[in-house]
Structure 1
């Protein structure tokens, strides 16, 4: 599932292309929305909350989309060749001179703008949204609410922090110096939240993610997808194992020397 920074950048690009412009054609290829026609409405703007994209239209309407594992939004000029097959398109939003095509979007829902909270109100503080001391305090409180929960699982829970995915879970645990299986009680909750937000903000507008600050191919992440390769800090071979069960199961990467603590 895409990280929050990928979703944020997607939303920014959609907003730059569509906001303030009038829809000349819409094509919804989703069973529940097949009869919807928004042509003639203005695009008020595109915002993101965690991993949810909210495209707002005049007349108090919002289209919520979620990329999940394989979804994506592409922008084209009229007549451009699409980079994904047409049968994968789930929605087309056309304004003068631009087309926004949403491919493989499993979650599409049209709601009154005033009811957006019904779709995203359960989420924790958005790490890439407006941020106040109150947001920070709430994020720390949610993260530390279950002291015995594994920190890797807590970081991935969008009800705790909105925006962290598997990449940042692994990278934040590395920077905290703990294994992903360490109980939340064994980490500094405030530091975990601060690191999560710092890394997401640093990559929010980058097409290529880098969590290390190091230059050079293959040095973009500390441990993520580096199984069997030397740790960039100590040289120990990075390990990998599955964490969680069922739909929550994710791959975790860690350096056994730099990240002491329980393991799978």
Structure 2
């Protein structure tokens, strides 16, 4: 699943192509918004919050979430698309460029004044100008018995982290992902590490994993073979609670498992 850094970079590409430009093409290929026509409107801004992306005109905010497979790509007018046309969910075009959203998991067209409803439930954005580590820390500590690896994925705590970066952050802080939040020795340092990792991934060269996807390879610090285990998280669904498990990568020597 694309994480906050990928959405941040996608917003940056769309901003360069669309911001300040008049839309000459508006094609929403989802039934609910099939009649929406933004042609003639100027794109005032493009931004992201966690894993959410917004393209804003003077009247509406086009809200999208990539979910598992989605992507935004920008093409010159007339350029051949690099993904099948049937995968396109939105096409926004100007005189010179086409921004195409492929396989988007969520598409909404909101009134500008209602945009906040899409993100009110989220914690502070790790890559936003309003990043608030104190608020993130407060939200994390409200559930001290939750494994830190689960808490980092909960977008209500801090917005932007996915399965890759939770393993990377815990590894850098020598914290086992299954350790309860209340037992993490220096939680403020871990929160700061999360922001540092995400910022570097969004603004620097592509992030090279230290542990994620590297099970059985030697730890860079101590040489111990890295491990992968499954860590479950509660998923409310139709008045019932189910569990979804994802892989956590860690060093069994540097990151001592909880008892």
TM value normalised by structure 1 = 0.91
- The match for 2:198 is 200
Q: Deviations over 1:174-232 (max 9, x none)?
A: 112121100101112211110000011111134622xxxxxxxxxx2221110111111
- The match for 1:24 is 24
For 1:8-87, what aligned pairs fall within 5 Å after superposition?
8-59=8-59, 61-87=60-86
Measure, in 1, the Cα distance between the counterparts of 2:214 and 2:243.
Answer: 23
Measure, in 2, the Cα distance between the counterparts of 1:248 and 1:125.
Answer: 24
- The match for 1:147 is 144
DSSP 3-state at the match of 1:118: helix
Measure, in 2, the Cα distance between the counterparts of 1:240 and 1:88.
Answer: 33
- The match for 2:213 is 225
Measure, in 1, the Cα distance between the counterparts of 2:187 and 2:72.
Answer: 34
Deviation at 1:262, TM superposition (A): 2.6
Q: Deviations over 1:64-101 (max 9, x none)?
A: 00001100001001111111100000010001110000
Alpha-carbon contact 2:226-2:250 (below 8 Å) kept:
yes
4+ aligned runs moved over 2 Å, structure 1: 245-249
Q: Deviations over 1:121-155 (max 9, x none)?
A: 100000100146xx221110001111111000001
- The match for 1:261 is 257
- The match for 1:212 is none
Is it true that 1:174 corresponds to 2:171 in the alignment? yes
Deviation at 1:117, TM superposition (A): 1.3
Deviation at 1:247, TM superposition (A): 6.3
Measure, in 1, the Cα distance between the counterparts of 2:228 and 2:145.
Answer: 22
Structure 1: any 5+ residue segments left out of the alignment?
Answer: 210-219
Alpha-carbon contact 2:89-2:101 (below 8 Å) kept:
yes
- The match for 1:183 is 180
| Superposition CA RMSD, Å | 1.3
Structure 2: any 5+ residue segments left out of the alignment?
Answer: 234-241
Is it true that 1:252 corresponds to 2:252 in the alignment? no
Number of corresponding residues:
250
CA distance change for structure 1 residues 90 and 247 in 2, over 3 Å: closer, same or farther?
farther
Would you tell me which structure has more strand in proportion to its own residues? 2
Measure, in 2, the Cα distance between the counterparts of 1:194 and 1:55.
Answer: 29
DSSP 3-state at the match of 2:35: coil
Measure, in 2, the Cα distance between the counterparts of 1:122 and 1:181.
Answer: 25
- The match for 1:213 is none
